[in-house]
Structures are given as C-alpha cells and as structure tokens.
Amino acid sequence: MMKDYSDWKPVLDYENESPYIENPNRPWLKHRPPTVPKSIRFDPIPISEFIKLSAREFPNNVCIIDKPNNKKYTYRELIYYADKIANALDELGIGKGDFVGLMSINCPEFLFSWLGILSTGAAVVPINSLLNDSDVIHIVRETGNINVIFVHKTNYRIIKKTRTQVEVKHVIVLGAKEARDDAITLEDFIDGKAPKSPDVEIDPMNDIAALMFTGGTTGLPKGVMLTHNNLVHDLLISLHNTEDTYEEFEARRGKETSLGILPLCHVMGHEALIWALYGAATIIMFSFNPSEVLEVIEHYKPKIFAGVPVMYQMIINNPDFTERDLSSLETAATGSAALAPELSKKWEEVVGFRVSQGFGLTEATAFTHGATLWMPEIKSESIGIPDIETDSIIVNPDTLEELKPGEIGEMLIKGPQIMKGYWKKPEETKKDIVNGWLRTGDLARMDEDGYFYIEGRTKDMIKYKSYKVMAKEVEMKLMEHPAILEVGVVGVPDPNIGETIKAFVVLKPEYQDGKVTEKDIIEWAKERLAGYKYPRKVEFIKILPRTTIGKPFRRKLREMEEEKKEKPISPV
C-alpha cells in the first residue's frame, strides 16, 4: 500500500554536519556562514510522489509550453496523462523490477511517459535520441528485460531496426497521429484508461528509479543504477546550498520559468527537469536553436540559463546575442565540459555577470559541485565547491593517498547522490566505489579556499617525453586564436618519443581556404604555451566530433588518427 506523503517536507538542518563529510575541516567549510544548512533531513519519498506533491499544489499553473506545436499543459494535465499511462502499463503487467525504455526528443509526451513509468514502480531507461541502432541494441541487451519502449516518431526507424536484433514486445509512438507496423500511438495506448496510477509500495532508498547509460566516451555505455532517493536527495542538496531560507524558496515556487532545452535523456537535463517540476515552474520546451533561445529569454524572462558549453558557443556567436534583452537573467550555469575563458569573457561583457561552472556525472545523479554565492567569489574557471552533504578530495590515482591543495590528482566524491552501482557489473562497481568514495576518473586540483578545478580526464592526459600535458589546457589556449572555432587535442603515437600532441582544428568560415596554415597555428601556440605543451601537429577538419551531449569526442579523434595509420598507401 502506497504511503501517504501529503504532509511531506524537507527539514533544513543548521546544527548537525552530514555523516557524508569525513573531515569537518575541509577548506570550503570555513567560509560557510551559519545561515547555510549543513544537511537536509526528510522522509525518503518516491520521485513520482515528490513531483506530484508540487503538481497537486499548483494544479492550474502552466507546466509546459510546447513551443513548436503552440500548446500549453497545466500541472493537472501532467498528472492526468501520467496516471493514464501508469494505468495502461499496469494492465500490461509492468511494475516494480521492470525497466521501460524512453527514446524521445524533448517534448510534453516525454514528461507524461516518464512520470507514468515511475508511477508504476518500474524504472525508466532514458535512451538518447541521437544514438544509432547498434547503441540502442547494446542498451536493450544490457538491460535485459525491456518489454516496452516509448519512442518519438522521429526515432521510430531506429527502434524498428533494433527490434530485428532484440525482442521488444510493445512499442508506443509519441507525437504520431497513426501507428506503424505493430506499434501503437500514445493516444491509442491510453484511450479509455482511467487516470489512476496503481497502488504500489516503493522503497525509495533501494528501488531503482532510473537506469541512465553513460556517454560511452571510453568504451561501451554502462547502465548506472539511480535510486528514487538519489534523484530527490541530489536535487535538494544542490538547491539548498544557499543562504535562502526554506520559506524564501517556498515563496518562489510556482512563479518561475525554465528553458527545457537540455536533453532530458542525459543526467544533467534529467535532474534539471526534476528541479523545474519540484519548483512548479513553467517549462518552455523546444529544440535548441540559438536565435530562438535568445528570443525566448527576452519574451518569457527566465532567471536562470543553464546550458552545455557548445550551446554557449553558438549563442555567443549568434548575431542576436547583443540585440536581445537578457536582463531577466540572474545566473547562468554550465556543466558537462569546461567553458573556454574567451566565451566566458564575452558572455560577461554582454550579460553583466560570469557563467558559473558546475560539475556532476551520471554516477553521481548529476550535481556534485557548483558556484555558491556565499563563497568569497565566483571563479569562472573553477567548478566551485561541493554541494551540501557532499565531500570531495583529490588523491594520487595510483595509491589513493590524499594530496595537498594545489596538487593535481584524481577527484573522489562521497554523498547521498552516489549511484547504487553499475547494472550487472559488480566488479566495475567495486573498482569505482571505494569505501563509499566514487572515483570520477577526472584529474583535478583544489586551492587553499576549497575551490575545485578540473584539469582533464585521466584517460586524456598526454605523456609528451617525460611531461604530463592536459588536453583541456591546450584546447583552452588554442580557443583564444582568432581563427579557431572549435578544437580537440589528443595524444597521438610518435615513433621516436612514444606520444606527441596533436590539435584537430575547425576554422571559422572567414579563415578557411588557406588563409591560416597548420604552421601558423603551431607558431602562435609556441609563443603562448610552455615548450612541452604546444601542439606539434595540427590537422584542419570540417566538424569536430562531439559526444551526444556536446563534449569533444577525443576517443573518436584518436580513432581517426589510427585509421590513417592503417590505410594502405595506394600505388602511384
């Protein structure tokens, strides 16, 4: 029997330090004023009930503005459609212990299906809409028991190809007027179903709410098990890492707008969605387009803009950037990869404040570090400090011994947002979670005040002669070159010294057709980087390969280099 959560609310605790903080003398904590909570206590709650509490409190508020179709949906309608979907899934026998796939662009039906799946006690498996059929086949096989997939009509062909290799009994098509093959439209699926979700007992601490697959930048994607509590706790600790009282936060609920442009299939967009729904915000949903983003900010006046670096790059280079009224914005945040200082500077010149970098990863539900207003300053090159209840240290990757401030090593994180583990991979879980600490695989350093700085991935470190070079540092410097639009830097094999530094460069249109040479770029970098850091090789490419969430895809660049080596030279 589902517990009654109608009186549920979190308690901000200003007295007791979180049990996740191993050392109360962490440098960032010395700046924390007594008006910032030390931890948050609450009765564990299923994510579906957590969202429905807000929806029931603000039933007539607009939940979604579906910009492409010029439609609006209220929070009452969100619950109505989600409960019809939950009821229909329940009739198919879907419930606790099951996994349901969801492959869709951002659209209202994504939200309805997502909340409907969670309301049955089943776990949702968001599948990136940019993946090809071999990736989707891997995800379905890896999960093992996906009998139902909700798919947007634009992705239907991928699922059709997937079904030739793996069995998926039921396919429900979103956004389609009529079904194809043996699939069924969402409208037909819920036709005649009562808006009543099944009565199910969910254990928020242990039951999986989402199986999120990693980006697979270093190998095949792994399924990350996130519990209901991971999702709720991660949101609350990132939301309340502020001097705002609970009452001040409550007073803002139901009054804000949010841009629904971050991919909902990715952990950052997924948690941002929960953030918006918990705050009963109005989500303006449309496919990312820089001109449209600027127009929407001017018209709907959101206070926060959150985007990945490639979005900032496109917005800042858009002619409308300096023409639109962006004065409603109070903060701007980025994550998933580093934002080039040049872009950050241009943003600040036009908008009037810095972009704050944050940090998170799929294995930590999304958010772990962020810029906070109670720290002495916002350092745009830093990812900020750990959220409430989150501890973080820098260690020697080989010995796991803690390093001193300023030293570069692997960043470890401990907190209530750390995953339950990798799906069906106990050995890999054991390797990545050591004594409760998550090994991130990211190289970082912490300064004397407790600000953290990402220096690169352990796998992206280039060993040039006896020096260790961070790919990210070289990329950031090259982005200052007036001709460079995008760049990815990797280590490539060198017969004499083992490995050398190579930059793959996309030039701005006005500098193409031989106006800038590889030698020009190398000479320019030579003057601005240490003697062992500048690229020894430069190759011009038309498009920089990126992961499905917009990070430079360095593994792809290394593969491109490998392919060149393997291609036989054709006889003259």
Give me the pLDDT at residue 549, please. Answer: 64
pLDDT band (50, 70, 90) for residue 205? very high
Return the residue matching tokens 């998550």: 438
Task: Tell me what percent of the residues of the chain surpass a pLDDT of 70.
Answer: 96
Query: Quick count: other Cβ atoms within 10 Å of Cβ 173?
Result: 27
Give me the pLDDT at residue 80, please. Answer: 98
Report, as an integer, the average pLDDT of 130-149.
90
Q: Which of 425-429, 486-490, 498-502 bottoms out in mean pLDDT, i.e. has the lowest?
A: 498-502
Query: Quick count: other Cβ atoms within 10 Å of Cβ 55?
Result: 22
pLDDT band (50, 70, 90) for residue 569? very low
Higher pLDDT, 318 or 341: 318
Contact 474, 457 (CB under 8 A): no
Higher pLDDT, 236 or 496: 236
Report, as an integer, the average pLDDT of 479-486.
93
Distance in angstroms (rounded) separating the CA atoms of residues 81 and 112: 6
Residue 220 scores a pLDDT above 80: no
Report, as an integer, the average pLDDT of 280-307.
96
Answer yes or no: is 523 within a domain.
yes
Q: Helix, strand or coil for residue 271?
A: helix
Mean pLDDT, all residues of the chain: 92
Answer yes or no: is 493 within a domain.
yes
Give me the pLDDT at residue 494, please. Answer: 81
CA proximity to 521, closest of 550, 485, 491: 485
pLDDT band (50, 70, 90) for residue 555? confident
Give me the pLDDT at residue 567, please. Answer: 58
Give me the pLDDT at residue 232, please. Answer: 98
Answer yes or no: is 513 within a domain.
yes
Task: Tell me what percent of the residues of the chain surpass a pLDDT of 90.
Answer: 76
Q: Which residue type does 563 have?
A: E
Residue 389 scores a pLDDT above 90: yes
* Total tally of structural domains belonging to the chain: 1
Residue 442 scores a pLDDT above 60: yes
The domain that holds 542 is classified in CATH as 3.30.300.30
Report, as an integer, the average pLDDT of 299-316.
92
Letter string b/e over residues 373-405, b meaning 16 or more CB atoms within 10 A of that residue's CB: eebeebbbebbbbbbbbbbbbbbebeeeeeeee
Domain span at 529: 465-566
Residue 418 scores a pLDDT above 80: yes
Residue 572 scores a pLDDT above 50: no
Give me the pLDDT at residue 570, please. Answer: 46
Q: 411 Cβ partners below 8 Å, 6+ apart?
A: 392, 393, 394, 440, 442, 443, 444, 452, 454
Higher pLDDT, 553 or 504: 504
Give me the pLDDT at residue 219, please. Answer: 56
pLDDT band (50, 70, 90) for residue 7? very high
Q: How far is CA 205 from the centre of its chain?
A: 22
Contact 484, 491 (CB under 8 A): no
Give me the pLDDT at residue 2, please. Answer: 79
Higher pLDDT, 134 or 336: 134
Higher pLDDT, 437 or 3: 437
Answer yes or no: is 474 within a domain.
yes
Give me the pLDDT at residue 547, please. Answer: 75
Give me the pLDDT at residue 216, please. Answer: 54
The half-sphere exposure of 510 on its side-chain side, counting CA atoms within 13 A, is 2
Q: What is the dihedral of CA 51, 54, 57, 62, to 10 degrees?
A: -100
Answer yes or no: is 439 within a domain.
no
Report, as an integer, the average pLDDT of 237-248.
93
Q: 514 Cβ partners below 8 Å, 6+ apart?
A: none
Answer yes or no: is 227 within a domain.
no
Sign of the CA dihedral running 475, 476, 477, 480: positive
Give me the pLDDT at residue 566, please. Answer: 62
Sign of the CA dihedral running 370, 108, 174, 261: negative
Report, as an integer, the average pLDDT of 561-566.
77
Q: How far is CA 429 from the centre of its chain?
A: 20
Give me the pLDDT at residue 423, please. Answer: 97
Give me the pLDDT at residue 18, please. Answer: 96
Give me the pLDDT at residue 571, please. Answer: 47
Answer yes or no: is 453 within a domain.
no
pLDDT band (50, 70, 90) for residue 498? confident
Q: pLDDT for 177-188, tens place per residue?
A: 998 888 999 999
